Chain A
């Protein structure tokens, strides 16, 4: 959808190949369809904000992208290869990481076990230890609580833990769904700072947000959904002043 961002340096294997591409994707839950032919492109190292009212299909898009649901029609491409219908763990191994809405840590495991679960699979037994230390360096709070059950952490700390998992793992694409949901304003800012760090480490982001302003602090490209279709897309610059076209689109007044 979006033109290649001028500031983004393509780092994919083939220059100019988008990192993630959704081509005419239809999807839904059982008899209820929520996406009707969506096409979205995420360039390497770009930040795409996915906006839209409730029920516009944002969450379905990210679930299709991370393999949680299979599209009934259309294709999903990652670095140019077709990944339509692949299982989520395969995509995670390819480098697509999805931080789902709401609680996204294993409450009955300790903080360290939460990290180990991810790192073991990616870095193997050998690589485990240095990566754990790296995580604790980045998030000293997690280091202090490494033996604590993740379920006893506060909401903000849980988000931090899931971000720690993501950050150290170094994915190619991070998809976040409603990260700010249910968090106090202070913590939201903290979470978004971390997202900035992740972006700077060379990872592309796809951010789903209710709060337009919050999302726009990071985004390069913007895609607006309504009723399961893309109604507006472009770079932040192309769209100009947000109250002009963007907000009406998000609120369904286009």
Chain B
């Protein structure tokens, strides 16, 4: 009997294994050829399945749906990924590639859901069995009879298609030029280029092929899954990774074998659990978790992954080195100013939260700072340790459930429970570090993902852990309750903020201290670190324990924040934890302010999108997923990048000022030199006055909002000033040798702007939401024309003036251009956004309250003024000569102050200029 059962398991499990194998092969293909471990692979499978489903719903014939979704959409998507994204990452480190694909992993399913399938799962995906004749081959009841066993046509199709694909791939790799080139490119794409082969063509082919495999797998497995829903497809990835790991990420036959074992094993668990009457949660938990468990065990125990490093490119010296940290560019006075600004900012912020904000906002900021603590655990793990963990949510869960159980079930004091939760997380972290020691890079990341999924599916689903469906109630510390000077929510916020501040300082201290230096040494070179006596094992355990402890603390606080948690609590879910990493790393994983910015922007964006503008909250994930993609350009994080840019601009301005002072002694300054401040202050004055007036009106009780005359009176001078500035600057640039035709461009911008303004306010159009045609923006036509004139002219200038400056710089043999067309992107985006809001507002949308709009307006004003500052900085450099503030050539008096230089970097970014 037992043998019969196993044959049955095999017949039912093997086809699933085949799909795993297809995904695994595609995964290995792109990993080997481009070094990108494409975590979004499951999402790509989902894409093809969703396209196929949608087309079928529209009544297309099945073969056409199949061809379009698998042979057209999937390869094109692979092409897109390569062309638009991963091509630019070839020189990047594995972290960059991983985080970018993690961004896709988070964003792609949301995009597909938003565009194609909707949020809810769709049922009854089409099958391709009849296409390849399997339905005809099968018996009359649509199944294959093999002896006593029955195989459905769908499953037979999977097996046949997979085996065929594997054979074809084998031939491709073994016997064709393309296959040979793909194998060679693994080692070094630059060496392939030197051999005369277009490496971009090869990697493009690899991406298209692997994406095709993903699509094929998605379409094949869809009937078996029974629904089109993002999560099972996304997790298909984990099973595939486990299978690929079985083949040590190189061998396709072994990957196939591993996939078959997984598929059959999953089926066998169902059978065995019935036969031996296993407990319920093993039955429901282990089967879906088997791939995670298998992946975890494989990574830990297969010797192939031990201390494995990616093959080093012998030509990697071609890559530019990473930039130094922003605060290293600061000089003494700048560091001092920003430190003072930092304390003032913190004090103002706390006062604002304490006394001026409603309880809802206090709650939101409490949430944000709890999240910031969780993010600091990523700052430690990734920023200090140089590794990427997707398991932070699991550690948060460990901390949270421990706290909740001790406090709610056993009535311990909640702070003691919290402390124990942290201790427990630390212990689990240290224990995980021991097997994790052997792994490096991407493999450690995968193991942490498997760990988080295991914890979520096996441990947290336990009623004794998470209190079952009704969950657990978590009290807040009792000393925060009761009446007093501040409300309990405010006091709780202070408590959380204090926790955050303590953890933040600890992170800074650790980074500046011995541990941080040892981590830096290990990041730089593990062998060299060992050669001077650094115990890598101990450091690695410390890293895990420290970061797990911080995550555990955040988990406990999450539990207190929401006062009730259950097994579905979002903050403890593995995929949510993956989104955290994307956020932190793209905003800046090396600094505390990166974590704070990530947390606050996450909370604010979710609120803005869902409560304020009434969109899906998951849209935020799309935004942040794409944010991760910018990481490729700025691996140090966006916050860090912006800080560096602004610090460098300030230093340049300073050097130019010093040069000007020198020149002033001898005679007149060159025409065109103006301290940047002289142009930015008048431009920002108007918006600031407006903001002040609005606040005064609010306090005086004359209601929210600003009457139109006030807006015009405040803004008109600033706008006028900016327009005059643009004209003057362009004239000067033309005189210096810039493009004379820039005038025509500006004029054309103005004309187009007038046309657009007239069109939007005068012409009846059919807008998406409204049946009868009407004007897009409900405003007098003359207003539309004037605003359009200004905006069109400005947009043309945003790009044209920097381009003109670039041309002048080129004529003068500048090595770096002081300002480029890129400066125009930001302000243009804000004009487009503003137009969109106007359209929306004139269609009857009334914001629940106005001040977020003022905030957005202020940000827009800052962006415009930044543009003016950048351009004037560029012009200054053009007339005064090139200024070099390259790293590593610090000016003598610029040495940083010895005491606590790190405090300076806590200051909010972009506050400068």
Contact = CB atoms under 8 A, between A and B. Distances in A.
Asked whether any CB of A lies within 8 Å of a CB of B in the complex, the reply is: yes
A107 B317 CA distance: 19
B194 A121 contact: no
Interface stretch (A11-19, A25-33, A230-238, A242-250): A25-33
Interface stretch (A39-47, A66-74, A140-148): A66-74
Interface string B299-325: 000000000000100110111110100
A97 interface: yes
B197 A106 contact: no
A198 B196 CA distance: 19
Interface stretch (B178-186, B349-357, B586-594, B891-899): B178-186
B193 A106 contact: no
Interface in A78-120: 87-89, 92-93, 97-98, 100-104, 106-109, 113, 116-118, 120
A29 B321 contact: yes
Interface size range on B against A:
20 to 34
A106 B184 contact: yes
B708 interface: no
B177 interface: yes
A126 B288 CA distance: 53
A120 B176 CA distance: 10
A100 B815 contact: no
Interface in B844-870: none
Interface string B3-45: 0000000000000000000000000000000000000000000
B197 A117 contact: yes
19 contacts: A26-B815, A29-B321, A32-B321, A33-B815, A66-B194, A68-B193, A68-B315, A72-B815, A89-B193, A89-B198, A92-B193, A100-B315, A103-B314, A106-B184, A109-B184, A113-B183, A117-B197, A118-B195, A121-B195
B197 A89 contact: yes
B275 interface: no
B196 A118 contact: yes
A165 interface: yes
B199 interface: yes
A68 B887 contact: no
Contacts of B188: 106
A26 B199 CA distance: 26
Given A31-B887, A92-B195, A121-B195, 5 more contacts: A29-B321, A89-B198, A92-B193, A92-B196, A93-B196
A122 interface: yes
Interface string A204-237: 0000000000000000000000000000000000
Interface string B868-888: 000000000000000000111
A69 B318 CA distance: 7
B196 to A, nearest CB: 4
Contacts of B195: 89, 92, 117-118, 121, 165
B190 interface: yes
B815 A88 contact: no
Nearest to A29: B320
Contacts, number: 96
Interface string B567-610: 00000000000000000000000000000000000000000000
B310 to A, nearest CB: 13
Given A33-B815, A73-B813, A88 B194 contact: yes
Given A100-B315, A103-B314, A116 B321 contact: no
Given A26-B815, A97-B194, A109-B184, A31 B314 contact: no
Nearest to A30: B320
B320 A32 contact: yes
Contacts of A120: 177, 180
A87 B200 CA distance: 10
B187 A87 contact: no
A20 B197 CA distance: 21
Nearest to B888: A32
Contacts of B815: 26, 33, 72-73
A199 interface: no
A63 B315 CA distance: 10
B191 interface: yes
Given A26-B815, A100-B314, A113-B180, A31 B886 contact: yes
A182 B195 CA distance: 23
Contacts of B199: 89
Nearest to A93: B196
A241 B321 CA distance: 40
Given A30-B320, A32-B320, A33-B815, A109 B180 contact: yes
Interface of A: 26, 29-33, 59, 63, 66-69, 72-73, 87-89, 92-93, 97-98, 100-104, 106-109, 113, 116-118, 120-122, 125, 165
Contacts of B180: 109, 113, 116-117, 120
A63 to B, nearest CB: 6
B886 A32 contact: yes
Given A72-B815, A100-B194, A108 B186 contact: yes
Interface string B554-569: 0000000000000000
Contacts of B193: 67-68, 87-89, 92
Interface centre among A31, A32, A66, A93 (most CB of B within 10 A): A31
Contact of B187 (A73, A92, A106, A116): A106
Given A73-B813, A103-B314, A109 B194 contact: no
A73 B317 CA distance: 20
Given A106-B184, A116-B180, A121 B196 contact: yes
B183 A109 contact: yes
Nearest to B250: A108
Contacts of A31: 320, 323, 886-887
A68 B177 contact: no
Nearest to B190: A68
A104 B183 contact: no
A109 B317 CA distance: 23
A249 B321 CA distance: 29
A31 B886 CA distance: 7
Contacts of B317: 59
Given A63-B318, A109-B180, A92 B194 contact: yes
A32 to B, nearest CB: 7
Contacts of B191: 100, 104, 106
A172 to B, nearest CB: 13
A40 B180 CA distance: 36
Contacts of B320: 29-32
A116 B175 CA distance: 11
A88 to B, nearest CB: 4
Contacts of A106: 183-184, 187-188, 191
Contact of A29 (B183, B186, B190, B318): B318
Contacts of A72: 815
User: Which 7 pairs of residues, A with B, have the shortest CB-CB distance?
Assistant: A30-B320, A92-B196, A88-B193, A29-B320, A89-B193, A121-B196, A118-B195
Nearest to B885: A31
Given A32-B886, A33-B815, A107 B194 contact: no
B318 A68 contact: yes
Contacts of A113: 180, 183-184
A107 B187 contact: yes
Nearest to A108: B187
Contacts of A117: 180-181, 184, 192, 195, 197
A9 B888 CA distance: 48
A118 to B, nearest CB: 5
A104 B196 contact: no
A87 B184 CA distance: 18
Contacts of B323: 30-31
